[in-house]
Each structure stands twice: as C-alpha cells, then as structure tokens.
Chains A and B, each alone.
Chain A
Amino acid sequence: MLFNSLEYFIFLPIMFVLYWFVFNKKVTVQNALVLAGSYYFYGLWDWRFLFLIIASTIVDYFVGIMIENNADERKKQKLWLWVSMIFNLSLLGFFKYYNFFVDSFVDMFQLLGYQIKSTWTLQIILPVGISFYTFQTMSYSLDVYYKRIKPCRDFLSFATFVAFFPQLVAGPIERASNLLHQITNKRTFSYEQTAAGLKLILWGLFKKLVIADGIAPIVDDIFMHYETYSASTLILGVTLFSFQVYGDFSGYSDIAIGTSKMFGVELMSNFKFPNFSRNVAEYWQRWHVSLSTWFRHYIYIPLGGSRVSKMKAIRNISIIFLVSGFWHGANWTFIFWGGFHALAYIPVYLMGRNAIYKDSVVGENTLFPTFTEIGQLILTFAIVTFSRIFFRSESLTDSFNFIGRIFNNFSYEHYVHPNGYRMVDYYILLAAFVLYEYRIRKDERSPFKFRSKAVRFVAYTLVVFTMLLFYDSGFDRSFIYFQF
C-alpha cells in the first residue's frame, strides 16, 4: 500500500477512528490494532514476506531477553548478539546481495582470464523495506547488548515496534530508545500533535506528487537517452534528479512522521533541508539522518570515530561511506557513490570543518544568506548532485559515459519535455519550492508555520492547487527508496 494511494486514504482514517474511539481503552489493544494494521499494510505488497518480518521480530525479541538473562556472562551475551547479527545480515545477504556477490565473483574470474558460466544466480524478489526493518531490529539488539536500553519483555509491543506501519518500508530507521517506550506506554490524543501530523502529511504529499513525480518523466527520459543529449541537458537531468530524489524520500519521511503523530507517536526527523548545507559534512547531518546516525552509532564510533589518529579516522570515514553506499543497493554504482562522498568528506574533516555547522542553519540570524553562504550552498549542491550520476545510472559504464559526455563535448541545447509540457512551469515550480524551503529552514517539522490563520489557509490552498496542476494520473507513483 502506497502512502499516495486511494487505499491508504481509506486505510488511514479507519485506523485512526478505531485507534482513538474503539480500541482506546488499553494500550495492548491499541498495539494489537496497529500490529494487525501494519501487517495488512505490508501484506498488500506481498504477504509471503511478512514471515521475514515476523522471523526477524521473534529472533531479536529472544536475543534481547537472552542478553539480559546472561548479564553475568559477557561471552554468552556476545554470542546472542552474534545470533541477531548473523540472522539479520543473512536475510539481507540472501535477498539483497546474493546475486551481486555471485556476479562479481564471476566477473573477477573472467578478468583473470578464466571463463566461468554463472549458474548460481537466482530469481530473487527484493522484499520491500528489508534494509530498513533489519537495521531497526539489529539496533535494538545492539542497544540491549551495550546496556543502553532494557530488553522488551512484551512481545506484542516489540512486534509493533518492528512493524509500525508508518516507518516500516522506508524508515525513518528508529532506535528502540526513541520508539519502543512510546509503544509500550499509553498514548493520549492531542489535537496539536494530530494537526501537526496532518500538516506534515500534506507537505509530504506535495513533495512527492508535485516535486518528485512532476520531475520524474524528465529525469527518466534524460538518463534513458543520455547518449543522444547534449551536456546542458545532462546537467539539467542530474540537477532535476537531485530534486526528485529529495522530494520523493523526504516526502515519504514527512508522511511517515505525520502519520505517526496522528497515532500519538513521535518519530525522529529524517531530513533537515539538506539542500541548504554549507559543506558535505553538514549535508550528511541533514540527509537521511536516521541512516547516517545509525552508521555513526553502530559502526563509526565503535571503530574509534574521530578520536583516533588522522589515518584511522580517514579509514573510518571511508568505511562508513562505502558501507552506506552498499546499503543502498547491490550495485557497484552505489559503492562508487559512497566512495565519492568519502572523498568529498575527508578534506572537510582534515580542515576541521566537519562539525562547525552542527547547531546552525544557513542565514541563522538574517533574512538572506551571505554571498559566502550562497557560494557554499551552490558548491555543496553541485558536489552532491554530481555524485548522483552514480546513484541514478544503471551501471558504472553508464555513469562514466554520462560524465564523459558532459566534460568532453560541452554544448547547449534547448530541452523539450518528453510529453511536450512547458519546461518553464517546472523551473518556476522549483524556484518557488527552494525559496519556500529556505523560509521554513529552521524547523523541518512545521512546514506551515504562520501566525495568521488566513495566511496558513492560503498556503494550504496553494499547496493543494499546485498538486492538482502537476498531478499525473498516468505515472507510476511508487517511492524511489522502496528499492533499497
């Protein structure tokens, strides 16, 4: 079930009404409803893969308890932690990476001059959201192991924590320390929280339906036929892809966070206006925050983080970016994408500028950014956008050909929309979007923060009206991050 489908707009109010009016007496009953709803929500894609979620839930539930039960024996605790890691990584390894390893193995032998026929590759369907919920359950076992949280002994609550439908298929990847206690405790209805949730859902839908889906046919066309387009069109294509992937994923996250709010649950922020980052380090503090912090807590810091020698710190940075790339997909393009970001991040780290923008936003105390800040924003956006050529291309060959066409034969040509629409509509739309996001840049959870009710009403109306102006009924409206 997609967030931007009619089914969801029937499902959500039904769940809301049942949750607050029918099953509102006991938290266990509410959780049972949410769990059943979550399994239904997921099962509409492919009910067979529900068993993977249930299996992951059972394994980590028992691992958590066993780690606590063996409090005096660290070795046994470690063994139980390994059970969780091996189980979850095996799921990922099989469903997501098996064919990639087999193909890479065959390619490597062929490079060495041995001809092997790949007979081991399998027809495997990637279960939606597997990278998200396996990381969530692993983080739970790790947190129990490192004594950051107590294990959950209520199976129903734990299963609800793993399968909570708003964030099940594409995050935010929650930590048990943030989400689990909200699931186990009684929730109370709050008008302010629900209204804030509805506003986020509206803003998320706008980003998905207008920004991402509006641009998608142009991006698809340019990347599919890049051999026939000039450099200016290729630059346009990858720039628009930057907006598309941002609109798509942050739109999804906003809807997820907004939906959770409607059920009295606060999820962590996943996007904090990454297009207004002044360097690559700040970008990673603002883009897909739940994944970045996951890697930071569970890989980067255990490896020593930045409190080690410079060389080791550079190694650690490289590792998390390469792993992050690999997390996105079983393709060398993603690993290159991660490697490129490591190369862009390391100079920032060496100059000691990786944490200087941690607690501020661009134009912190001014209406407009300074010229220096504008330069920083453009440079960061250009670096990040360039990396997306690897992210979007089908193969490394395509990526390098794409880049080659930009640099070897620079020329300008007028681009015509594949469906004949006026391109100027999209340029105006994006300019307005960037300006509006700049206005709200200090609070990603309040996209309609206006004192005047009338202004707020005008904003809602314009958002809905623009959604109609750019609605495309013939477009496949799935989310990009579902493939990960």
Chain B
Amino acid sequence: MGGMTTDIKLIDEKGLRLDGRRPDEMRPLRIEAGVLKRADGSAYVEWGLNKVMAAVYGPRECHPRHLQNPERALVQCIYNMASFSVDDRKRPGPDRRSHEISKIIAEALTHVVFTEYFPRTSIDVYIEVLQANAGTRCAGLTAASVALADAGVPMRDLVASCAAGKVADTVVLDLGKEEDNFGQADIPVGFVPRTNEIVLLQMDGDLTNDEFTKGVNMAVGACKKVYEVQRDALKRRYSARAADEGVPGPAEEKREVA
C-alpha cells in the first residue's frame, strides 16, 4: 500500500483524521445477533461504513467425506464480497483475496471452538460483505464469532478483531478506506480477550519495530472494546425479549463505541 500517492491530507494540522477521528479512535460499531431465521446462528455488524452479515450452520455432517476428521470438527469459512459492496462493481465469485481471508478466519475460529466435541462434522461459517470500507476481515471475524455463539457452538471465548496501521507517518487505529488505500501500513489483529492470545495477525506495508508494537497494542486495546459490544449483542438478543414479552426479534437499539 505504500506505493500509492495522493494529495489528500490524511491527517490535518490538529492531528485529526479525514473523518475527524483522533489517531487512537475507532469507528462506531454496532452488532446485532440472531438476525437470520434459517441459519443456526447469525450476526450483523455495522462498523463505520462496513456492513457485514455472518451466518453459521452446524455442527453438521461434513461433505465431502474425505475432509472429515474422526477426532474433531472442521471449521470451514467462506468470506464473500457482494458485487455491490465496493465503488466499482466487484466481479462476483471467489478470488485470491477472499480465499486468503476465508482461510485465516477459519483458522482463528478453530482456535476457540471446542472442535473435539463434534467428531466427523463441519461447522460452516459464511461471511457476506454487503458494504466495504476497509477493515472487512476484522468486521467479518467479529461477526462470525458472534454468529458462532448464537448458534450454540461451544467455544472457549469470543474472538474480537480490529486493525491498526500507519498513515502519514502516524500510527493510527482502525483504518478507513482512504487511509487504507493511501496509507503506509495496515495490521489486522484477531484477539482472544480471556487468554490474551492473538489468533490472527497480518501486516501489509512497512513498519519499524516500535511502530509495529505500538500498532498491535492499539489494536489489542480496541479488540477489548469490540469484545464488550459482542457480549452486549448476545445478551441483548435474549434479555430484550424477556424484558418486554411478545416483541419478537432483537431490539433495534443502537450502541456505539467511541
């Protein structure tokens, strides 16, 4: 990403970013659990201008059979971007990028799911990006782990995810689209808050050792906030109904994180 140049000023004189955020500020995040009726579990995430839907099926019989593991379940993931999710129409179908993201998200989730409880099965996670604005893999992983919990899949903890990066020589949190396109680096992080483990870590661009450490720490801090929103979404799904009976579905209340 370092190669692109622009005359947009990504950070102004006051140290604020294009959308007015401070360098350590996240975009507003909203999560809704259990939005799809036909899936075993589902979640919808709005993260800034990102709109991501995740659905979970299973544990169910694993097909094709040769992928079955006699000792544990297989966590499979398909990440897909809708053709209308970006400015220029995206050519539909799997490509190199979505294959990669599917793989790393599946691996991050495998780490927290008790796969040994469901031998020979597969747990299928589908992530649909409806609107993209940088950071969709983080939004996708965040949505997927809420959907897994909603499906009743036993897991050690939820996975929270957020990115950090470097823009105009400053380390910033949760890059927006312009920052991602014209910035210098991007580090998506997947984090398990209970055990302080990192289950997803990538880096695109160049950073010094210090910048990298600062960025990862920033992202981990943000993951803890994301985690609280995830927990809240799951709890709200059931307590909203218990509180005012007869109202089906999750409450339409907005929750934002600064």
Q: Do the two chains bind? A: no
Q: Show the binding face of A for B, using Cβ within 8 Å.
A: none
Q: Show the binding face of B for A, using Cβ within 8 Å.
A: none
